Amino acid sequence: MTIKLRNGLSGVSRGIDYNGLKRFRESSNQEYRQSFMEEFQKGLEEGHLQPGQFSIRRLWEALVENGREMVDSWHPENQGSSRVRLEEAGGATMSADFTSINGQIVYAAVLEAWNNPNFIHPDLVEDIQTPFSGEKIAGIGNLGDVSQVVREGDPYPTATVSPEYIETPQTTKRGFLVPVTKEAIFFDRTGLLLQRVKDVTQSMLISKEKRCLDMVLGVTSSYRRNGSAAQTTYATSHTNGDFSNLKTSNGLVDYTNIEAAELMFDAISDPNTGEPVMIDRTNMQLLVPRALEYVAAYVQNKTNQIHRGIDQGGGAATFLTKTTGQNPLKNMYSIISNAYVYLRGSSNTSWWIGDFKRAFKYRQNWPITPVTIPASSHEEIHNDIVQNTKISEMGTPSCENPWYVLKNTA
């Protein structure tokens, strides 16, 4: 099957139209080049073009002037010939188109690896863009019931935010370099290059998963209020804004355990206003280890049967009616789980309930970002590197409103 895109670019199941890429390089029409790049990016985003379809060697030959001759010059039989000087003549500007196109291919591979459905932190922690590393966030609470009667002709009172504040942790940067070497191009190691990109991305994804779950499960503590030291995320009391979000002796067995946790929310007041914390059930989730995943599903889906037994009294036996009722939960909560919940939390019996994204944030300076650049002359000469891709992200998980999630222990 051939996939036709505008500007003569086509992707096929067994290859790519490299002549179209060569025409892109040779064109001096900036409008055409910009339109070509937009269509190329769209093809990758929509899946019409796949990173694994491309040959890195053929990309180099099509997108670098004298690229084929340059690759030939790397062959051992041609070392020392005058053709090697083609490499020196090109320099970084010679491979600009190769860098642009290959950068888009790498970006598509990074996103494919990053959007892995087996990782659960995107369901639990909200990503928040920030230009800061560590913040003091004031006025996080609601105003509460402060409305006043305004008499005729009187000015309206001014609403003020709470003087309370929390402090978030400093952000940290993580990343790797993935180089493209002469050998990768000469031997056409496209698959190996893309696998390295995906492995690096997977490594960074695992790091974010573990750091976020450590915060959500209460393994690490970052909740700092009004200048106090970091407090335990889950406790029966908290200083500087007292509330209890830890319920003991409440192992997950049936709907009554979930009901007990819900009723505990009613006893929590907003630390800023004293008003009850209102939980929207449509955003509520159950976070459980694998050992409780089927239990949680069973609790939400089984039919409740209430057996009243036989009343023998003082005379003839009377059979009481057996009552069968609809489960009051019936898929009310989404269930979230993977192997890391136990590995990071070290418990097969604890479980969590609440509106996780209101409680936990991931404050990031920038998301996972690949940047592809031509290699420096030093790298080219000493390491045979012709291009580098830097994959990085910078951020940190932050516990900001812990009263929206409850931890339950058996």
Cα radius of gyration (the chain)? 30
* Residues in a beta bridge with 113: none
Q: CA-to-CA distance for 24 and 22, rounded, in angstroms? A: 5
Q: What is the DSSP string of 82-130?
A: GGGHHHHHHHHHHTHHHHHHHHHHHHHHHHHHH--TT--HHHHSEEEE-
- Cα(196)–Cα(183) distance, integer angstroms: 15
Q: How many CA atoms lie less than 13 Å away from 146 in the CB half-sphere? A: 14
From CA 197, how far away is CA 391, in angstroms rounded?
8
CB 177 within 8 Å of CB 390 = yes
Apex 262 CA angle, 259 and 268, nearest 5: 150
In angstroms, the CA 244 to CA 251 distance is 17
Q: Which of 106, 178, 121, 172 is nearest to 393 (CA)?
A: 172
C-alpha–C-alpha distance, residues 293 and 322, integer Å: 30
Between helix 18-26 and helix 96-114 the angle, nearest 10°, is 130
111-166 per-position pLDDT tens digit:
999 999 999 999 999 999 999 999 998 865 555 556 678 889 888 877 666 678 89
- Quickly state the pLDDT bin for 76 (edges 50, 70, 90): low
Mean of the per-residue pLDDT values for the chain?
A: 85
How far is residue 47's CA from residue 44's CA, in Å, rounded to a whole number? 5
pLDDT of residue 374: 84
| Predicted local distance difference test score (pLDDT) of residue 271 | 80
Q: Is the pLDDT of residue 321 over 50?
A: yes
User: Nearest Cα to 268, choosing from 146, 399, 147, 402?
Assistant: 402
Report d(CA 82, CA 316) in Å as an integer. 113
Strand partners, 129: 364
DSSP output for 121-154? HHHHSEEEE-S-SS-EEE--S---S------TTP
User: Two tokens at 31?
Assistant: 């409008």
Q: Is the pLDDT of residue 315 over 60?
A: no
**pLDDT tier for residue 56 given thresholds of 50, 70 and 90:** very high
Q: How far apart are CA 126 and CA 358, in angstroms?
A: 8
The answer to whether the CB of 305 falls within 8 A of the CB of 322 is yes
Distance in angstroms (rounded) separating the CA atoms of residues 59 and 55: 6
Find the mean pLDDT for residues 44-49: 90
324-377: pLDDT as tens digits: 666 777 778 999 999 999 999 999 999 999 999 999 999 999 999 999 988 887
How many whole angstroms separate alpha carbon 388 and alpha carbon 348?
A: 44
CB 352 within 8 A of CB 140: no
pLDDT tens, residue by residue, 191-243: 999 999 999 999 999 999 999 999 999 999 999 988 889 999 999 988 877 88
* pLDDT for position 381: 76
DSSP state, 324? E
- Six-digit token string for 388: 């580098």
The enclosing H or E element of 353 equals strand 351-354
**Predicted local distance difference test score (pLDDT) of residue 312:** 54
Tokens of 148: 């006043």
